């Protein structure tokens, strides 16, 4: 894949899909700023990815806090002078199997602020920085929950639907200004957190896909890298599934 820039930010990159995306961008030769709320976790991820400390840099940021995101963008611009690529990956699922009538208001706000407002903050502050150096590309993480409804997890489903709409709207705003924005909608991904679930639960989740397995994190990572790359130069405003046929059912 070809890239015209070299500075990328990946939020929520300490493990799972975010780590896999950061790893793929690192493999492609980019300098990658990885962020998470847990300083110890993100520092360990950065060391494991790049023991030299020359091309992967850990920073602490909380995407549900707009000031934290603004400070992150300001710091990257001060230190590196540009932001070419942004991956808004950080997110939480919140409680599962809870009716909307019983869903705690604080839990609702936590999910929406992290999964939807966090994407808004990332683009709000990063896109002006990209425009200063000629443009860039953004990938936002939605989910199959952003394409279909799933009972018992309404806030997450709502947020991920919102990510798709936000991606489309912002892509139209900047289509002629050199910033491309796309979204990815993975099915269930076999992350370290998924591996902690009981085997019968893992089997049910895997078999919900027509391909009868979960996605590998690197499969999502490769699509994210492609959408950021110059090879996807005529792609903006799209939402691309990595779901083993889940949404085709």
Catalytic machinery residues: 156
Q: For residue 95, which phi and psi values (nearest 5 degrees)?
A: -60, 145
220 near 242, Cβ under 8 Å?
yes
Q: What tokens does 67 get? A: 């000031």
By CB atoms closer than 10 A (0-12, 13-18, 19+), residue 19 is buried
Q: What tokens does 147 get? A: 């394409």
C-alpha closest to that of 91 among 12, 163, 37, 9: 12
* Tokens 């991904």, residue located: 189
The CA distances from residue 23 to 27, 50, 143, 248, in Å, are 6, 9, 20, 29
Query: What 3-state class would DSSP assign to 34?
Result: strand
C-alpha closest to that of 85 among 123, 141, 117: 123
Query: CA-CA distance, 23 to 34, in Å (whole number)?
Result: 10
């Amino acid at each position: 894949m070809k890239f015209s820039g070299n500075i990328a930010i990946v939020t929520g990159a300490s493990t799972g899909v975010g780590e896999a995306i950061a790893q793929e961008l690192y493999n492609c030769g980019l300098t990658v700023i990885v962020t998470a709320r847990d300083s110890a976790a993100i520092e360990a991820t950065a060391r494991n990815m790049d023991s030299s400390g020359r091309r992967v840099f850990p920073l602490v940021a909380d995407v549900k806090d707009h000031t934290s995101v603004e400070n992150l963008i300001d710091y990257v611009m001060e230190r590196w002078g540009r932001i070419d690529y942004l991956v808004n990956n950080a997110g939480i699922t919140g409680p599962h199997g809870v009716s909307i009538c019983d869903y705690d208001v604080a839990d609702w706000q936590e999910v929406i602020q992290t999964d939807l407002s966090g994407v808004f903050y990332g683009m709000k502050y990063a896109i002006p920085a990209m425009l200063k150096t000629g443009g860039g590309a953004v990938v936002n993480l939605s989910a199959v929950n952003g394409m279909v409804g799933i009972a018992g997890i309404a806030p997450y489903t709502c947020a991920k639907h919102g990510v798709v709409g936000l991606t489309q709207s912002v892509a139209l705003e900047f289509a002629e200004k050199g910033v491309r924005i796309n979204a990815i909608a993975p099915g269930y991904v076999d992350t370290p957190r998924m591996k902690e679930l009981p085997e019968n639960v893992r089997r049910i989740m895997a078999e919900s896909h027509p391909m009868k397995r979960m996605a590998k994190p690197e499969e999502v990572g490769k699509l994210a890298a492609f959408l950021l790359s110059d090879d996807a130069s005529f792609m903006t405003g799209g939402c691309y599934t990595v779901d083993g046929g889940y949404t085709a059912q």
